[in-house]
Amino acid sequence: MSEFQKRNIINNLLRLGPLLILFISVLNEIDLNYIKFFSFNFTFILIFYWSVRRTESLGYGYIFLAGLINDVVTGFPIGISSFNYLLICGFAAYLRTITLSPNLVKDWFFFLFTILVVNSASYSILNIFFSVDLNYYNLFVNIFFTFMFYIIFANLFLMYQRKFFKESND
Amino acid sequence: MEPSRDDFVIAIRSAFLKKGTKQRFSLLALLFFSILLIVLSKFNFTAINYLKLGINEVVFRTSFIVSLPEKYISYSFYAIEEHIDLYKDYNLKKEELKKIKSEKYNVNFLEAENKRLKKVLEDISSSSEEIIAKVIIDKQSPFLRSIIINKGSKNEIKKGMAVLSDSYLVGKVIEVNFMTSRVLLLSDLNSKIPVTIEPGGIQSILSGNGVSDGVIQYTKGKMPINGEGVVYTSGTGGLLKSGIPIGKIKHNENKNNVDFFVDFSQLRFVRILSYSEEKN
């Protein structure tokens, strides 16, 4: 295999980075969503960032599939995670439509609104339709740290975007 | 200029209905499809159950492989920790062994006496068949504390079977696939097990707190639990036999929490048991 072909394969893999990270994060056993003291939902951050900044990196079909896998692995009723993820995509698409000059901080606060709505919807469904008991303290911690960590991961993703996609719309 | 209501509607319509570049599916269509899946799974629609079984078989194996590197790191970490605590642990174990040795003769006598008395009373005792299973996934969530094991209906695993680690109860089987099963751990908020607390023989229900402990529920008034009460299964309901040890009572402000004998995050192999009644 020539040097050029090798570099091409690596470049293609790096371009698929967000999608690969999405599938690894849902298939993976060690989930940042359930760390004892500062649990946060990494998948929400990943989907929101890439749906706002580079929508073609994560196709809706793949996001739907990732949701199904997450439901199976975590034991949720099937369809819940897909619904959450796609709702985040919807909010991200809305933000993209109304934004002329993208700004990380504005995205950050819109992300807070998004996860509040998405989590409320998902926990209402779980509680009302599936009678699943919930620990509201855990939920609050999860939402708070997901919001706090967004800005860190968004900056890391921005660096990745600049390096491997040779673009930035910030 | 203030954005009008029309602008908002146009933005929403564009976000949900317009297919983006390189997007094969419309967001709205997929959202509706997810809602349909949720509704169908709520009503246990047969096709959804088959879909779930199919996905389960593939995903559990893939998840096991994807998680291998982290599992290795996690086990290495615990191995190092165990090595560091080795000397301290050795002394503790020595003390415990001394105590157990002295209690052993007493236990043997009581066991024999118990069997004799059961025969006299013509009581029913339980017998069980044991299946050893490996834990392939233990992805814990605050909403569902469960593990996936590598035995399923192929190995005659059935819903409701008891799951033990050594001789301690850790949970019960709640979902059976062809080659895998899901075990609901005792620490789950939705796990409810009838228990007896000794000394005193207090009957109660044990639930999980969604993290790592259990909570004693539905006891009348204040429970007269002195010091370190031990929690056992009561056998009420017939699924589990009585007397399987679960954990120790640990007193909190207003609650009686249960400290389980087993660390659920460290489960690697478990024993699956079904109990059947057998006349003496």
Least confident of A35-49, A134-148, B11-25, B187-201: B11-25
The pLDDT tens digits of the residues spanning B136-176 come to 777 666 557 788 888 888 888 888 888 888 888 888 888 88
Fold classification of A3-164 is Arp2/3 complex 21 kDa subunit ARPC3 (1.10.1760)
Q: Is residue B188 within 8 Å of B145, Cβ to Cβ? A: yes
The pLDDT tens digits of the residues spanning B259-274 come to 888 887 777 888 888 7
Banded pLDDT at B126 (limits 50, 70, 90) = low
Contact A132 B190 (CB under 8 A): yes
Contact A94 B15 (CB under 8 A): yes
Q: Considering only CB atoms, which chain B residues are within 8 Å of A22?
A: none
Spell out the residues 6+ positions from residue B159 whose beta carbon is closer than 8 angstroms to its own. Answer: B173, B174, B175, B176
Q: Where are the domains of chain A?
A: 3-164
Q: How many CB atoms lie within 10 A of CB B210?
A: 23
Closest CB to A94 among B11, B26, B139: B11
Q: Considering only CB atoms, which chain A residues are within 8 Å of B37?
A: 78-79, 82
What pLDDT score does A85 carry? 92
DSSP B153: G
Asked if residue B195 has pLDDT above 70, the reply is: yes
CATH class of B126-278: mainly beta
Which residue in A16, A23, A29 has the most chain B C-beta atoms within 10 A of its own C-beta, making it the best mutation to test that interface? Answer: A29
Spell out the residues 6+ positions from residue A7 whose beta carbon is closer than 8 angstroms to its own. Answer: none
What pLDDT score does A135 carry? 74
How many angstroms separate the CA atoms of B168 and B261, rounded? 7
Contact A98 B27 (CB under 8 A): no
Least confident of A105-119, B1-15, B184-198: B1-15
More reliable by pLDDT, B129 or B126: B129
Contact B3 A24 (CB under 8 A): no
What pLDDT score does B5 carry? 66
On whether any CB of chain A is under 8 Å from the CB of B31, the answer is: yes
What pLDDT score does B225 carry? 59
What pLDDT score does A88 carry? 92
How many angstroms separate the CA atoms of A80 and B46, rounded? 18
More reliable by pLDDT, B211 or B159: B159
Q: Considering only CB atoms, which chain A residues are within 8 Å of B70?
A: 28-30
Q: Considering only CB atoms, which chain B residues are within 8 Å of A91?
A: 15
A-chain residue closest to B18, CA distance: A93
Banded pLDDT at A116 (limits 50, 70, 90) = very high
Asked if residue B40 has pLDDT above 80, the reply is: yes
More reliable by pLDDT, A102 or A115: A115
What pLDDT score does B56 carry? 79
What pLDDT score does B26 carry? 77
More reliable by pLDDT, A60 or B1: A60
Contact A138 B142 (CB under 8 A): yes
Banded pLDDT at A123 (limits 50, 70, 90) = confident
Asked if residue B275 has pLDDT above 80, the reply is: no
Question: At A29, which amino acid appears?
Answer: E
How many angstroms separate the CA atoms of B142 and A138, rounded? 7
On whether any CB of chain A is under 8 Å from the CB of B17, the answer is: no
A-chain residue closest to B174, CA distance: A75
What pLDDT score does A19 carry? 87
On whether any CB of chain A is under 8 Å from the CB of B226, the answer is: no
Angle, helices A60-74/B27-42, rounded to nearest 10 degrees: 20
Least confident of A53-57, A64-68, A166-170, B89-93: A166-170
Percent of chain B with pLDDT over 70: 82
On whether any CB of chain A is under 8 Å from the CB of B3, the answer is: yes
Say whether A142 sits in a helix, a strand or coil: helix
CA A128 to chain B, closest CA, distance in angstroms equals 11
More reliable by pLDDT, A66 or B103: A66
Q: What is the mean pLDDT of residues B12-30?
A: 71
What pLDDT score does A9 carry? 78
Contact A86 B63 (CB under 8 A): no
The pLDDT tens digits of the residues spanning A29-77 come to 555 555 556 678 888 999 999 888 887 778 888 899 899 888 887 778 8
Average pLDDT of every residue of chain A: 82
The verdict on pTM exceeding 0.80 is: no
Banded pLDDT at B227 (limits 50, 70, 90) = low
